[in-house]
């Protein structure tokens, strides 16, 4: 039986690929976007669109409550198209704010709505230097400096909010570098993951997986993905049927 799902960040690279997978599995999807112009795209994909800014605490609370979700999926980011290097400096700070303040607002709204499971996007290249491949229990790079410190700080805050969101089950998906439709990249450096396979991990986490973090990437020498494969049933080669 399908679930009612609130997808925060439905118009992002993963969100657009995830909505059809969720619908095909029988779920009902309310998807958010900050831009009214993108609401029609979400509707065409089959979701019920809602225009709300994650930094608008009251508006977000009302939007999540109205959707009556059992599960919230957090795919919010604030990155330039194609990860334009000339715009990444300022984007890193905006993205870190979403991961900290935005995630905190989303967790509070989900708790108030009685959500039972929260699934959030994180990254797989935030581990502290050390022996590789990294497993999920390895420490993140809290001692990072410069721009990496801002990015990793946002990740640490996001994971703290999500994994500390009891009584909800909190699941963090540490994605590799995305490539594929809508990402602006046809390939990516290791650890890498195709956007459809990244979305598939979120679909699987709707019904599977216990509290905690999961590395989600194609086979590589930097991180191990054994946990996602064994507990979620994830496959790096997954692509939706045409």
Q: What is the pLDDT of residues 104-120, one digit of tens each?
A: 999 999 999 999 999 99
Positions in the chain whose pLDDT score sits under 70: 79-90
Q: Could you please report the per-residue DSSP string of 160-207?
A: HHHHT-TTSEEEEEEE-EEEBTTTTBSS-PSSEEEHHHHHHHHHHHHH
d(Cα 159, Cα 164) in Å, to the nearest integer? 8
| Structural domain includes residue 113 | yes
| Structural domain includes residue 209 | yes
| Structural domain includes residue 177 | yes
| Structural domain includes residue 68 | yes
| Structural domain includes residue 179 | yes
Express each pLDDT in 183-236 by its tens digit: 989 999 999 999 999 999 999 999 999 999 999 999 999 999 999 999 999 999
pLDDT at site 20: 98
| Structural domain includes residue 238 | no
End-to-end CA separation in angstroms for the chain: 24
What is the SS3 assignment for 4? strand
pLDDT at site 92: 85
| Structural domain includes residue 239 | no
CATH of the domain at 190: 3.40.50.720
Q: For residue 202, what are the domain limits?
A: 4-232
pLDDT at site 1: 73
How many other C-beta atoms lie within 10 A of the C-beta of residue 136?
Answer: 18
- Annotate 91-107 with three-state secondary structure: HHHHHHHHHHHHHHHHH
Domain count, the chain: 1
| Structural domain includes residue 241 | no
How many other C-beta atoms lie within 10 A of the C-beta of residue 91?
Answer: 16
Q: Under a CB-based contact definition with an 8 Å cutoff, are residues 222 and 132 in contact?
A: yes
């Amino acid at each position: 039986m399908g679930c009612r799902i609130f997808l925060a960040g439905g118009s992002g690279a993963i969100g657009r690929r995830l909505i059809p997978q969720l619908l095909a599995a029988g779920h009902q999807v309310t998807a958010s976007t900050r831009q009214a112009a993108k609401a029609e795209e979400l509707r065409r994909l089959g979701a019920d669109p809602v225009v709300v800014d994650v930094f608008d605490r009251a508006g977000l609370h009302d939007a999540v409550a109205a959707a009556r979700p059992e599960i919230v999926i957090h795919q919010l980011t604030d990155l330039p198209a194609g990860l334009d290097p000339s715009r990444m400096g300022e984007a890193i700070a905006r993205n870190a704010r979403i991961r900290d303040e935005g995630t905190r607002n989303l967790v509070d709204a989900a708790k108030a709505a009685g959500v039972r499971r929260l699934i959030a996007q994180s990254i797989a290249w935030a581990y502290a230097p050390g022996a590789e491949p990294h497993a999920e229990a390895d420490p993140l790079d809290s001692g990072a400096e410069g721009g990496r410190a801002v990015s990793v700080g946002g990740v640490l805050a996001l994971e703290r909010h999500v994994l500390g969101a009891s009584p909800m089950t909190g699941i963090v998906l540490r994605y590799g570098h995305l490539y594929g439709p809508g990402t602006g990249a046809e390939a990516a450096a290791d650890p890498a993951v195709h956007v459809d396979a990244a979305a598939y991990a979120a679909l699987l986490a709707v019904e599977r997986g216990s509290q905690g973090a999961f590395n989600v990437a194609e086979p590589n020498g930097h991180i191990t993905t054994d946990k996602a494969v064994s507990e979620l049933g994830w496959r790096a080669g997954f692509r939706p049927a045409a």
